[in-house]
Amino acid sequence: MKSFPKKILVAIVILLISGLPANGQTKEVKIGIALSGGGAKGFAHIGVLKVLDEAGIPIDFISGTSMGGLVGAFYSIGYSPAEIEELVTTLDWQSVLTDQIPRSLLPMAEKEKFDRYLGSFELKKGTISLPTGIIKGQNISTLLAEMTWRANAITDFSELPIPFVAVATDIASGRSVPLKSGNLATVLRATMAIPSLMTPQVLQGKLLVDGGITRNLPAQDVKDLGANYIIGVDVGTALRTIEELTTFIDIMDQSIRLGSYLQTIEQRDKCDLVIAPDMSNLAFSDFNSAAELIKRGEEAAKKKLPELLAYLEKNLTEEKLTSEQRQKILKNQSSKIDSMILEGASHRSSEIVEQELGLKFPNYISARTMTHAINRVYSSQAYHKITYEIEAENSEKWLRIQLQEKDPKLLRYGFHYNSRDAAKFLFNTTIRNITGPNSVFSLDLQLASRTQFDAEYYFAPRWANHLGLRLQAYHHSTIYDIYNGDNRTAQFGSQVQGADIFLGSLFSKKLMTGAGYNLEFVDIEREIGNPVYQETFSRIARLSYLLQFDSQNKTAFPRRGVHFKSKTELAIKQIGSENEFWRTSLDLKTFVPITKKVTGLFRLQAGFTTSDSLPLPHQFYLGGYDSFYGFKAQELAGTNLQALTFGLQLEVLRDKFITAQVNSGNVFDTWKIDTDIDRYFSGFSLGLGAATPFGPLEITLETSRRHALLTHICIGYRF
């Protein structure tokens, strides 16, 4: 009995000793990596992960902010650094970081007009409603949902192959918010929501924006997951020196970033190893420099690798050093979905949305199938944003689709400049669902040297697949230059007021065909020069048939596709016309990718009429930019037209182009196919172009036998 206390004491001492690290023993090291925000500079994280992955460094936990959150999340769910690199270097970031609708999904009635608007505002109760961000983030949300599809059943991020946490900022309280659970795509959208640029994300009852505001380097967050050795990768911008603070913009920018920078210094102190890639001469917005950013990440990681390996050799067990990490790698695969819930379909019935989605349940659905379905609904332009989540209970899974509806009334605006017509401003009011689903009223007003307006109404009955009715009224004011050879001898102005009714396949995605009736009043007045044409006022009534096909992947600098338009018009007295003529026009453009960077261009233009003379607005014209290179606009005019164009388009840098085109053609009094080359004029052009957020920027140099050099500058989409 007396020896009992001694036995207890010995046991306690043994337990205490066994719990202490003895000589030669080490506690288990849990490695965490914290990836900072930094916009495009966050691509450097991929290079760091590539080096660590190749060295066999076992990562136990990941935290990320903004772009660091995106890269970290992809790595945590099983994407290799090489797979992430392929994604970011091949993505069209200009499209991803906008709310741009894929052109292939637009109905034909809107395809030619859609790109020309630079932006829009909603009209609520007759006043302009300002958004909470320039973009809603539809395309980035769709991308994130597709890329995280493999983890769609996991809502607790500690259950991912590598436990993960993202950091966002509660814009209402100013506090950082670690996000350890939920829908992964939604969480990533929140941590990337740059204030003012992208609308905030509502999540967990909070209004969340980019985590970089409060914790750009989330070292504390990866420590909270359980990491006891923290690698911090910081791609943030350092503060400017006194010598660099030379303008009020520098001072303002420094003051905005000061709080975040001091927070980053504090987080750096929590790291055991800091990797800071060289970010000189690279900016937050350099998404086209992904390869260079990844390379700099690799270089920075390799410099720190010896220090990291030396520590791990002393502190990691042999078993962990040689074990296969991330044994549970998720793969993209189809998921069985039993049902669907729609939220937010008020103006448009759920039946129409379900029809546009084209999904049947229960069914196996893939990530790509969901992306196509969401894009189809988004192309209706009825919604700001469409997101989805997969929810599960027991053995059942269902799809929850959330639709954030637009106000049906929009005010849109556009701008265009070219050397001939100078600046043009475009204002548009669009009202959707004005008489029910699939109805649109649109009013365009062009302010330039000549004012124009177009009012259009589209309607597609639900029982008629793709069939639509268009009513149109317009006023067009146009200047026509009259040439004798290369000398402009006169200038006439036309005022045209008209109305048009058209019935055809307006809502098809690639093909439009149909017939219409047009009545217009044409007033021709001489502005300057000799009276080559009589000043007239006439009524022209026409029956028309239109056939149009459009599969161009882009409006400006397309890489592939075909654009074909043929229109036949018949003006006769029996339907109210004072002029009689039959007129057929044809315009065919093809774009064929030859290599990854080179596209072949071909164009055929033809025009035919039975009349000896046509009203000035209905004649055929050649000359000017994108009509006939080497000649001035409208320099060649007549009643019949024949022209061919061949060219090459080279993308020298991302969205930067060089084009070379040669054309041959002429206008004639009578239609005749003749191999005599003397009947045709030729011209050549060399152009420089760029795709910008404001539309295409193009500068062309043109030459022909008639003109040694012509230049043309064009900014923005034409209208």
Q: Transcribe 250-273 into DSSP letters.
A: HHHHHHHHHHHHHHHHHHHTT-SE
Q: Is the pLDDT of residue 303 over 90?
A: yes
In angstroms, rounded to a whole number, what is the distance separating the alpha carbons of residues 537 and 459? 33
Report which residue type is found at 332: N
- Higher pLDDT among residues 718 and 249, named by residue: 718
**Which range scores top for mean pLDDT: 112-121, 126-135, 343-352?**
112-121
Domains of the chain: 31-99+151-320 (3.40.1090.10), 335-405 (3.10.20.310), 409-716 (2.40.160.50)
Collapsing DSSP to helix, strand or coil, 676 comes out as: coil
- Report in angstroms the alpha-carbon separations of 608 from 355, 515, 567, 578, 620: 43, 19, 11, 20, 9
CA dihedral 358, 362, 366, 368 (to 10 degrees): 10
In angstroms, rounded to a whole number, what is the distance separating the alpha carbons of residues 260 and 209? 14
Report which residue type is found at 700: T
Tell me how crowded residue 654 is: count the other CB atoms within 10 A of its CB: 14
**Which range scores top for mean pLDDT: 85-94, 243-252, 538-547?**
538-547
pLDDT on residue 68? 97
pLDDT for 492-545, tens place per residue? 999 999 999 999 987 778 999 999 999 999 999 888 877 766 778 899 999 999
The values of phi and psi at residue 633, to 5°, are -55, 130
The region of weakest confidence among 39-48, 115-124, 288-297, 443-452 is: 115-124
| Nearest alpha carbon to residue 505 among 540, 550, 536 | 550
The region of weakest confidence among 134-138, 331-335, 367-371, 393-397 is: 331-335
Q: Which helix (H) or strand (E) holds 516?
A: strand 511-529
pLDDT for 337-385, tens place per residue? 999 999 987 756 787 888 889 999 999 999 999 999 999 999 888 888 9
Q: Is the pLDDT of residue 17 over 50?
A: no
Q: Is the pLDDT of residue 34 over 80?
A: yes
pLDDT on residue 4? 42
Report which residue type is found at 238: A
Percentage of residues in the chain with pLDDT exceeding 90? 64
| Exposure class string for 249-281: b at 16+ Cβ within 10 A, else e | eeeeeeeebeebeebbeebbebbbbbbbbebee
Pairs from 657-660 (Cβ < 8 Å, separation ≥ 24): 657/557, 657/687, 657/688, 657/689, 657/690, 657/691, 658/686, 658/687, 658/688, 658/689, 659/601, 659/685, 659/686, 659/687, 659/689, 659/700, 660/684, 660/685, 660/686, 660/687
Alpha carbons within 13 A on the beta-carbon side of 282: 25
Q: Is the pLDDT of residue 652 over 80?
A: yes
**Which range scores top for mean pLDDT: 32-41, 251-260, 282-291, 379-388?**
32-41
Region 689-716: what's the mean pLDDT? 94
Region 265-291: what's the mean pLDDT? 92
Mean pLDDT (the chain) is 89
Strand stretches in 136-228, DSSP E: 164-170, 175-179, 196-198, 201-203, 206-210
In angstroms, rounded to a whole number, what is the distance separating the alpha carbons of residues 712 and 691? 17
pLDDT on residue 317? 63
pLDDT on residue 332? 63
Region 329-338: what's the mean pLDDT? 78
Region 187-200: what's the mean pLDDT? 92
pLDDT on residue 22? 40
| Nearest alpha carbon to residue 552 among 505, 590, 596, 506 | 590
In angstroms, rounded to a whole number, what is the distance separating the alpha carbons of residues 176 and 547? 57
Q: Given the DSSP bridges, would you call strands 133-135 and 164-170 parallel, antiparallel or unpaired?
A: unpaired
**Confidence band for 24, pLDDT divided at 50, 70 and 90:** very low
Tokens for 173? 């309280």
CB 542 within 8 A of CB 577: yes
Collapsing DSSP to helix, strand or coil, 244 comes out as: helix
In angstroms, rounded to a whole number, what is the distance separating the alpha carbons of residues 271 and 477? 68
pLDDT on residue 322? 44
| Nearest alpha carbon to residue 103 among 541, 687, 431, 554 | 554
- Report in angstroms the alpha-carbon separations of 42 from 49, 54, 350: 12, 20, 40
Burial of 485 (0-12, 13-18, 19+ CB in 10 A): exposed
pLDDT on residue 647? 98
pLDDT on residue 512? 93
